[in-house]
Structure 1
Amino acid sequence: MGNPNSKRMTFFMTLNAVIIIIFIYVSFSTKDILPLKHLHSAGTLPMRRRIEHRSSSVHYGSTIKRNVLKRKERNSSETSKQLEVKGASLLHSNIEAAPFFLAYSTQQPKSSESLMKSQQNTMPIVSSINGSSSVPNTSSEIPALPLLTPVLTRTVYEPGHLNEELDIKRICIDRGLFLRLLILITSAQSHFMARMSIRQTWMHYASRRDVGMAFVLGRTTNATLNESLNKENYMYGDMIRGNFIDSYFNLTLKTISMLEWADMHCPRVKYILKTDDDMFINVPRLLDFIDGHKDTRTIYGRLARRWKPVRSSKSKYFVSYKLYSGLQYPTFTTGPAYLLTGDIVHELYTQSLNTYYMQLEDVFITGIVSKSLEIMRLHAKEFRNSRTSFLPCNIRKAISVHMIKPSEQYNLWKSLLDSSIKCK
């Protein structure tokens, strides 16, 4: 039967070995699980979690197993997608905010990094939150969720333009030395008919030696559309294309790109009109207006006074308290058309980069940034910036008329040129 003591000793040795093996297994399993609890802690959005996880990989990278991460990400993918959409809707109210987020996350300064650093050290930061100025923070970083967090424009704007097919000399000869007026028309990439109707009507004034005109667009990730734009620009050479994704929420980036191009290629021009591709511009009336005004450091247009921020997340004009906490905007000129004196272009461009970003380009450029630079904004009744009666005499008295369809450009152009029509 054997020695009972020997059997008892063998039993306890076996039991101890089993306990040790279980203890070791539990220890390694705990190391795999604990970092995942930290990674999916409550109260943070999925995008922020992923960024925090990447930044802390030094501490946890050796302990998190790839197969566990993949399994966890598959299980939480549906929840993450819902939270990201909800986070975007807090600022822009619909899924159209995606292109805006893309610009923040993909457009970083490259070749002009030294330029940005020099501006960072010389220009004060202007806050769109309260309008105050402060010393630049040289260690600024791009927020994990820029849709919900105020960020300086310089962190999301990439300088430079795609000028391969652009006829710069025709648009602004001699850097604008003899140019009275440069008209820059912001246009959506798909608005080919709008651009063609303008080229065939009031853009004919660009044939004058003292007037230059061009369209301003952004980038696209659509290869077919990009090829079409290349062909269009090869034929006409009048499309300035900046380094930003072309979308509604990037209109401020488009205007900044316009200012950068004018500052670089046409710094001596007397006046610059910023307008849109759904506008009819009465160029002769605008030139008469310029001759009658000799102000400096001024923006002319249709003034908007004491406008209050829209706080409803259902509106495309929605601005959160985090982005702008004031009860009303500074006085600004409405965006469809406004006229800049050439002596403020450089200041507007550099100061806009050191101001907290806002997607409402007219409020941002002609309100917040212009106020910080003490630039005058003057009301001019000739800037209608709205749809008006198409009676010939109404058109002749106006500088800008808004919400014009491509087919309507020809009717207004005819009214403008018909010498048989007499107006008082």
Structure 2
Amino acid sequence: MALQNQDYPKLQDPQGRKIEHGVILKIVTTNICGSDLHIYNGRFAAPGGMLMGHENTGEVVEVGAHVERVKVGDICSVPFNVACGTCRNCRERHTEVCLNANEELGFCGAYGFNLGGWQGGQAEYMLVPWADFQLLRFLDRDQAMEKIRDLTLLSDILPTGYHGCVEARVGTGSTVYIAGAGPVGRCAAASAQLLGASCIIVGDSNPARRELVTQAGYEVVDPSSATPVADQIEAILGTGSRWVDAAVDCVGLECHGNGPNGCSHNVEEAVINTMMEVIRPAGAMGIPGVYTDQDPGAPTDLNKQGLMALGFPGAWVKSPSFTAGQCPVMRYNRELMMAILWDRMPYLTPLLNTEVISLDDAVDAYEVFRDGSPKKFVIDPHGMTGLVGTGDRSQSAG
């Protein structure tokens, strides 16, 4: 990971063709995501020199000739899914698998993620294509900047956590198990609360992250404990209650700290197998955690082939259901924006434990985040938020 000097972006697609439906954004905030760590750790193949960053919020500074609704000066959230708005999948609200955003694969585009060649936004400026369709505008600039710590989450992790809960059918009174207490898992816990869940249980081997979750009023389990997760859940729910209504995977392929002392079962399928064990018969699972067959650092020969040893045969009799894949951010981001603006999620800021940093500090922040920090690192390249340096990263490592 290194800082690079790059040219100011052009209104061109990854193949170099001019596009008039795009805009150039001056980045206000761009976040470091757990999914970025998959690339950083060599667990998701990416070309050298690729610009990172798929959690972006920016101010429009240039518009293409075909852009009609987005104006210079607008502050907007950028969904991490690149989507055209006109293909069959986009029209069906499956913007996570747009058919025009990735010419090599044929579907599924994303910024800074080796999916379609779209460069990321961990930079001073970035290109956003199909801007009229994609961008979520914040109509009140002053209000947006006041709440930017929370609004910056709309580009990915808050909709992703919410999507996992929706696909797991979380509703009023649900009991929920969320695998992972990183920023996405914490957003999933906040989303489960917004959706009306009763008991929200978050599993993580990192004690600093578990502490954040506990302080927010949620229950925690430790998957690295010698006590199985199902037994820990039973201790929370009561004797004979080893199952939850819903389970959400906020870990993905880079599972670690699973099994006694974190030394066993460190394979890609560990989280999904645990969820199949703890879900009730006819329960549902949401799996927005990242999995890929482009994993050169996979822990087993089977995983390196893009395959997993799922305990599905034993779980089949439970009639479980699950939905996997990227979150279609545009399905949820406006509603979640309104929940933030009207203070329906006031617990987000302390739960996410956000630290705003400069672009110069981004390389160091990647290392700190990789080492287990309970922080959510937000990069402010231009100092527009006035929040750079307001946290103490030296005290954040878990």
User: Normalized against structure 1, the TM-score is what?
Assistant: 0.28
- Higher Rg: 1
TM-score (norm 2): 0.29
Higher helix share: 1
